[in-house]
Chain A
């Protein structure tokens, strides 16, 4: 399993599956009326074939903006990638022409969005929208594309696919629409899928169906999956590796089992303690004090320092590097951007 392989480790680990995608020191800003919003401030992560990387963060943490930069669908302007590299199969996407990127989108990587209703075209039947993938990218005839669309709908377990292929998005339920989004993303069997909050808008019973489907297709096609979410429960269910983002930076990166056992960053720790548990009836919830930072004016030093119970003087002046975390029994790579990760880990 890829869960034991760590995305950025330099030393050889077994099995050494090559990195499918590698984001290196990515910076993205947005020009706004009030100034420059620094949405992404030096993000590094990577994902291998068959691996699920969960990118966890609250609104404004930069998790979706990073994904948009990878897909090449960032709004430019006001957005701007100021530096960094995005390597896909070893090739820097940021150096490619728009035409070449378009070819990669769809066949090399695809994205699933949160809101299927607004991501689908309301005036085209789902069959036409699914078929378009094949007519545009593969040059198939409309008739063959339609047959492919039915096949795809079957694959994502939409009942009566042959009849429903001519229907329009509004005739499907929320869960079914999300399946169509998944079908569209899978159509050309890309090697990487980016799913941005794919189940946030769905009810829990439907959410479980959709996550199951996604995991199964990922296994079948051995795809890399970047799952962007704010839900610590979903992450625990499906992820191999977690990257926690705060104010446009990765603050902690770890194998999923390790992070839930013992977080190595106070922000992750606060998040884990602040969620009510289905399996426990607790007393007062721990609440991280204060608010996420304004991206126009990120605090100096560690961006989390005004909300951190452990903050010292050094946290207000020095930006903590994403340092390697080591302890006995840890086999995979783990990192934390906290000056006091040792103390945090001890609890």
Chain B
């Protein structure tokens, strides 16, 4: 399953927006039998911040604990820095 993050907007930058995106993904975008790997594609995303991704991932994790989340097209500096920051914090 690959989810296009740009469909939530070019600037993904607040907790409420991240939470809302996660809820929408759970309700409308993710298959009921989602298991294994979940890929988030950041192509065309202009700005990503930790609060958005943190909230989004929390919603996905609550929905499917243990799901392996992978990120692709992370060359944008804010996308890269955000992912690194969350990895650092989570350990």
Are these two chains actual partners, yes or no? no
Give A residues with C-beta under 8 Å from B. Answer: none
Give B residues with C-beta under 8 Å from A. Answer: none
